[in-house]
Chains A and B, each alone.
Chain A
Amino acid sequence: MALVLTEDQQMLKDSVAAFLADKAPVAQLRALRDSADATGFSRDLWREMAAMGLAGVLVPEAEGGSGFGYVGAGLAQEQIGRNLSASPMLSTAILGVTALLRGGSNAQRQALLPKIAAGDMLLALAADELARHNPTRVSTLATPSGNGFLLNGAKAFVLDGHVADKLIVSARTSGAEGAREGITLFLVDRAAAGVEVSRTVMVDSRNAAHVSLDDVQVAGEDVLGPVDGGHAILERVLDAGRACLAAEMLGVAAESFDRTVEYLKQREQFGVLIGSFQALQHRAAHLFCEVELVKSVVLRALQALDADDPRAPAFASLAKAKAGEVVRLATNEAVQLHGGIGMTDDFDVGFFMKRARAAAETFGDIAFHGDRLARLGGY
């Protein structure tokens, strides 16, 4: 598949770019933070995004969505990265929908997908338990009970957990902690008895929560995918999240870079524009190249997901690793090349650096994905 956008995709990109720059720029995230907003994003914005087809971007047209696929979702994520727009796009439209598409029964799909696409239902993935991403380290237990299971355990870093209507929880039905086999996914009502969700305020002002599960009863119909066989589904959900996070990081990196280059053309010192200093020119030129590389890996990872390419996991790791590395460089260079003003809260570049840190950490950083790539490559 050619590494270029189709006309439809280009149109989607342009319309999302215009929409978010207008409705959800960095100033909105700042306002949400400053007012300690209880939701952490604007529900009005999400309704409008749903109306544009973004909540259902991955949902097939026949099931009430817009069917733009992962390339479409990634294009939206890239613009979200450029504007630092807060929304449940990742938690619900990407992770939640992918889980339903890959593991959901017909009944689950019919019940949830149209509501998600309409913007009326939010999901959250509760997978990690430790501070560093590791989807097989699952010690949350699911023990048979009635026609279903009883869940006990705790989950960390659950994106949008405190506002989600339903949680997708990974729990152990068999096997030792760390084993791939024996993990099962469950759809759990956030309001169910025994579920306790506490929001954790993160450095990037985005939503995450800690979830504890204390004798939570789930019905047999709420198992997502096969019992003991949740890991394969979870990996596909995570890979979708990783590729789309890479797309978001591309947006963060590109925007930080553009703002920095602009500043080099405005700020004077020693009687000249600082952009005329070769030491800075070379740093900017190097960063330009790195951002170009990220564009390529992101597009290929998204295309591979759409095509169900067997190399999709490798491409997702490649994109996540490379984007994570470059977004760190881009945002750190942005702060450094802005000098003192880059360190001030009033100025926006700090927001980009904070988001870069959190996004790079989410679902595995370059160390995690480097290791995964090496294993996939047999070394």
Chain B
Amino acid sequence: MVEGTAGDRAEESSLEAFRAETRAWLEANCPPEMRQPAAGDDDMCWGGRRWVFRSEAQKVWLERMAARGWTVPEWPREYGGGGLSKAEAKILQAEMARLGCRSPLSSFGIWMLGPALLKYGNEAQKREHLPRIARGEIRWCQGYSEPGAGSDLAGLKTRAEDMGDHYLVNGQKIWTSYADQADWIFCLVRTDAQAPKHLGISFLLFDMASPGVSTSPIKLISGYSPFCQTFFDNVKVPKENLVGTLNKGWDIAKYLLTHEREMIGGMGFSGDGREALSQIAAREIGLENGALADSGLRTDIVRHEIDAWAFALTMERVLDEAKAGQGTGALSSMLKYYGTELNKRRNELLMSVLGSDSLIWEGDNPRTGGKAGERPKAWLRSRANSIEGGTSEVQLNIIAKRVLQLPGA
């Protein structure tokens, strides 16, 4: 009954050829060290002017992938991308997951700025910035939140004044992830103080090495200091660094956020080689008559696995629908909300599975000899998932308003 056309079959067979080539190429080119998941943010490759590769393998892997455009498989070739169709990109992702290949480059440029530039940037901006993002040469940070503007982001006060041949930026950002290590910032600034708050915002790009930019790291509950307070004191920004139209930056900001949210929501669900919770539990706790030896925890774990699997299939369905031209934009809030809440739950369960071993903060574990600190830090870090990129409550507000069209939301 349900049969494809000849065209479908031709596409099918060329995709199969692509799969075979991709598999062979990955097997030949992905260094063995890059076939295991990264041990935390610190072990990933972030790129940038000052990047020190953690290993030769990390460097080689980035260079080889970038040369194919596969750090950004779906971007157009002229901007450093791989020019792959969604179907091909899905195959590449599946083949990478199959071998356990980690992502060659983690980057706000790829996840957030790139998609926004592709849509709103002018030709010169695309040619200048996109290839450098693709090759991991420039590391970007996100200047959105301010002390007085978090969930109410449009209330931001950092201002940019038109000085004729440049903008003059003054103000303060906060929670700017990796601001102290980033080369450039994409920044929301107020360019019209009189207009209603959403209509006076513009989207600027500038070099963090510009005179007047300073950062000061903030320590997190996990002990890491991945983000900063960022200060702008009479920073001169060339006029050509305005993206899109003056005072229309909010549209770009929101578009970028949908990408950020899908990325955060999907973290760990798109086959990055993350070990299933149930497998870890089986190894750590052991089995009795084929069932996990802790029956209470087993029930909690299987309930989590059900939701995690259902969520992974939902990400797949959303992608497939987009491919079939049935896209639904507001789903990014759903993915962000559900994915981050799940990841928090997973981290709680992982702590339970590992019991008191999961609490060891410093030194080695005398019982197992294992390395301390990573587990409780990962657990603590995961708490931020439902805050960064817009809180869970804000995502629910967006669903209520945009998808369900409830009154007064």
Taking Cβ atoms with an 8 Å cutoff, the residues of A that contact B are 2-4, 6, 8-9, 61, 66-69, 71-72, 261, 264-265, 272-273, 275-276, 278, 281-282, 284-286, 288-289, 292-297, 299-300, 318, 321-322, 325, 366-367, 370-371, 373-375, 377-379
Contacts and interface: CB of A to CB of B under 8 A. Distances in A.
B338 A293 contact: yes
A299 B316 CA distance: 12
B404 A284 contact: yes
A199 B317 CA distance: 42
Contacts of A286: 337, 396
B306 A292 contact: no
A281 B311 contact: no
25 contacts: A3-B321, A4-B324, A4-B326, A8-B1, A61-B1, A68-B2, A276-B406, A276-B409, A278-B397, A284-B400, A284-B404, A293-B310, A296-B310, A296-B317, A297-B309, A297-B310, A367-B299, A370-B299, A374-B305, A377-B302, A378-B278, A378-B290, A379-B279, A379-B281, A379-B298
B403 A288 contact: yes
Nearest to A293: B310
Contacts of A71: 2
A184 B1 CA distance: 32
A275 B276 CA distance: 39
B292 A265 contact: no
Given A2-B324, A281-B406, A373 B334 contact: no
A378 B409 contact: no
A297 B313 contact: yes
Interface of B: 1-2, 276, 278-279, 281-282, 287, 290-292, 298-299, 301-303, 305-307, 309-311, 313-314, 316-317, 320-321, 323-324, 326, 331, 334, 337-338, 393, 395-397, 399-400, 403-409
Contact of B302 (A2, A61, A278, A371): A371
A304 to B, nearest CB: 11
A186 to B, nearest CB: 31
Nearest to B280: A379
A124 to B, nearest CB: 27
B317 to A, nearest CB: 4
Contacts of B298: 374, 379
A285 B399 contact: yes
Contacts of A370: 299, 302-303, 306
Given A282-B400, A379-B287, A374 B314 contact: no
B317 A289 contact: no
Looking at B279, B281, B338, B409, the one whose CB has the most chain A CB atoms below 10 A away is B409
Contacts of A299: 317
Nearest to B337: A289
5 A-B pairs closest in CB distance: A276-B408, A281-B400, A285-B399, A3-B317, A296-B313
A4 B321 contact: yes
A67 B2 CA distance: 9
* Binding site secondary structure of chain A: helix
Looking at A2, A264, A276, the one whose CB has the most chain B CB atoms below 10 A away is A2
A261 to B, nearest CB: 5
Given A261-B404, A375-B291, A3 B338 contact: no
Contacts of B408: 272-273, 275-276
Nearest to A374: B302
Given A67-B1, A370-B303, A379-B292, A282 B393 contact: yes
Nearest to B1: A67
Given A275-B406, A289-B334, A374-B302, A379 B278 contact: yes
A285 B336 CA distance: 13
Nearest to B326: A4
A322 B314 CA distance: 13
A266 B313 CA distance: 34
A286 B392 CA distance: 10
Contact of A289 (B1, B302, B338): B338
A61 B1 CA distance: 8
A374 B292 contact: yes
Contact of A293 (B278, B301, B314, B399): B314
B316 A296 contact: yes
A326 to B, nearest CB: 9
B314 A296 contact: yes
A285 B393 CA distance: 10
Contacts of A371: 302
B392 to A, nearest CB: 9
A173 to B, nearest CB: 26
A211 B290 CA distance: 35
Nearest to B395: A285
A296 to B, nearest CB: 4
A324 B302 CA distance: 15
Contacts of A377: 276, 278, 302, 305
Nearest to B303: A370
B397 A374 contact: no
Contacts of B307: 293, 322
A303 to B, nearest CB: 10
Given A297-B313, A378-B282, 7 more contacts: A8-B1, A285-B400, A286-B396, A292-B334, A297-B309, A318-B306, A379-B287
A265 B299 contact: no
A261 B406 CA distance: 8
B396 A6 contact: no
A296 B315 CA distance: 9
Contacts of A3: 313, 316-317, 320-321
A67 B1 CA distance: 6
